[in-house]
Amino acid sequence: MIFKAYSSIPERLHIVITGERGRPFSLVIERDRAAAVFGGLLALLVLLTAGTWLGAQFFQERNALEDTAASQAEELDLLHANFDGKLKNELGIREKKWRQLMATYEAMVTQLKAEKNEAVSQAEAQLAALVKSSSAKTAALQAELEREKLAKRKLLEQTAGRLDERSRMIETMMSRIGVELKVGKKSGSSGGPFLAASFDEKASRKLLERSDRYIEAIQRMPLGRPARGRITSGFGSRTDPFNGQPAFHAGIDFRGRVGDPITATAVGVVKEVGWDAGGYGNYVIIRHGSGYQTLFAHLSKTLVKKGGAVSQGDKIGLLGSSGRSTGPHLHYEVHYKGKAVDPEKYLSVADLTFTMPM
C-alpha cells in the first residue's frame, strides 16, 4: 500500500513561490531525493525527540541526586556538629570523673603510706619487745632444760641402782634355792652395791637389757602353783601306794577335790594333750622354753589343745583321779633339759615374799 502511494507521486515536482511583490521563486524537487531528505529529517526529528526526552530524564535525575546530596550534606554537617559537641561533652565528663578518681586514689595512697609507716613502726616495736622477751624466755628455758637434764640423770642413776640391786637380789634368791638362771654370757662373777660415779648411758642400757632378760627368763620358769591344795607326796624316792615297793616319784602330788581348777605355772605353748590309762590318765604337757617343760596328770578334764599358747595362771584342766590314781589329786612334774627336777624348789620362790627395791 505504501509502495503504491509512493509510486503515484511524480518523479519531479516543480514548485513556484510568488509574492505580492517581487520576483517569483521556483523550486524543482525530485521525488526520490525528497523522500531521502524527508526520511533523514524524520529520523533526525525522532533522534532529537528521543535525545530531548532522555536529556530531560537525565537532568531530572541529576537534580534529584543533587537535592539528595545537598540534603545528605546538610544532615552530615548537622551530625558532625552534634558529634563534635557530644564528644567534647563526653570527654569533659570523663575527664572530670578521671580527675576525681585520681584525687581519690592519691588520698588512698597517702593514707596507705601513713598506715604502712605506722604498722612498720608498731611491728618494729613488737619485734624488739619479742626479741627481748624471747631472749629472757630462752635463757629461762635453757636453765629449766639443764635442771630437767640433771633431774633425769639423777633419776636414771637411781633407777639403774635399783635395777642393779633388784637383779642382784634375784640372782641371790635363785642361787639360794638352787635354781639356775641364765640370761646370757657372763665375763665372770661380780657383785657389790651399785655406785654411780658418773652417768653412763651405755652401761645403763646394758643394765636395762640385763633386767629385761632376767624378767623374760623368770616368766618362762615354772614358779607358780598349779593347784590350791597342800602337797601330799614329794619328789624322789617313796613307797609305791599300789604295791608297796620302793619307787621314784618324778613329781609332787597336790590334794584336792574333783573339778578344782588346774593352772599353768608359766607362759608357754601346749606341747601335748593325751590319755594314759595305765599311768597319767588325762594329762597336759606345756613347753615353756629355756629348756623347761611341765606335766599335769590325773585330770578329770583337759581344757586346752595342742599348740595353744598359755600364760601363768591360765586354767588348763580340772583336778581328777584318772589313770593310775588312788584318789582325787594332781600329779605335777617339772623337767629341765629333759630331766625331772624337784618342783618344790620352784614353788618356794612363788611362796617367798620379800621387799623388792623400787
Confirm whether 51 is domain-assigned.
no
Confirm whether 282 is domain-assigned.
yes
Confirm whether 100 is domain-assigned.
no
Q: How many domains does the chain have?
A: 1
Contacts of 343 (CB under 8 A, 6+ apart): 222, 235, 251, 252, 332, 333, 334
The DSSP secondary structure of 81-140, one letter per residue, reads: HHHHHHHHHHHHHHHHHHHHHHHHHHHHHHHHHHHHHHHHHHHHHHHHHHHHHHHHHHHH
Supply 72's cell numbers. 545528605
Q: Round to whole Å and give the CA distance between 324 and 327.
A: 9
Residue whose C-alpha is closest to residue 274's, from 342, 221, 310, 323: 323
Determine the structural domain holding residue 262 and report its residue range: 231-351
Rg (CA), the chain: 70
Supply 17's cell numbers. 513561490
Q: How far is CA 175 from CA 25, 171, 180, 182, 184, in A?
A: 191, 6, 7, 11, 16
3-state SS, residue 353: coil
* Residue 43 pLDDT: 87
Confirm whether 260 is domain-assigned.
yes
The DSSP secondary structure of 129-193, one letter per residue, reads: HHHHHHHHHHHHHHHHHHHHHHHHHHHHHHHHHHHHHHHHHHHHHHHHHT-----S--SS---S-
Question: Which residue do the cell numbers 641364765 mark?
Answer: 182
Residue whose C-alpha is closest to residue 282's, from 308, 266, 259: 259
Q: For strand 281-289 and strand 236-239, is the pairing parallel, antiparallel, or unpaired?
A: unpaired
Confirm whether 7 is domain-assigned.
no
Contacts of 24 (CB under 8 A, 6+ apart): 16, 17, 18
Supply 249's cell numbers. 616319784
Confirm whether 257 is domain-assigned.
yes
Q: Round to whole Å and give the CA distance between 26 and 210.
A: 175
* Residue 357 pLDDT: 44
* Residue 175 pLDDT: 67
Confirm whether 311 is domain-assigned.
yes
Burial of 67-82, coded b for 16+ CB within 10 Å and e otherwise, reads: eeeeeeeeeeeeeeee
* 66 residue type, one letter: E
Confirm whether 331 is domain-assigned.
yes
Q: How far is CA 283 from CA 190, 273, 316, in A?
A: 43, 6, 10
Contacts of 170 (CB under 8 A, 6+ apart): 181, 214, 218
pTM for the full model? Answer: 0.49
Residue 252 is given by DSSP the state: E
Q: What is the CATH number of the domain that holds 329?
A: 2.70.70.10
Tell me how many helices (H) and strands (E) the chain has: 4, 14
| 182 within 8 A of 218, measured Cβ to Cβ | no
Average pLDDT across each block of 10 residues of the chain; the chain has 358 residues. List them in order: 64 67 67 75 87 86 86 83 82 89 89 88 86 83 86 70 67 62 48 47 68 73 92 88 82 96 96 93 95 96 97 96 93 95 83 44
Planar angle of CA 123, 127, 129, nearest 5 degrees:
120
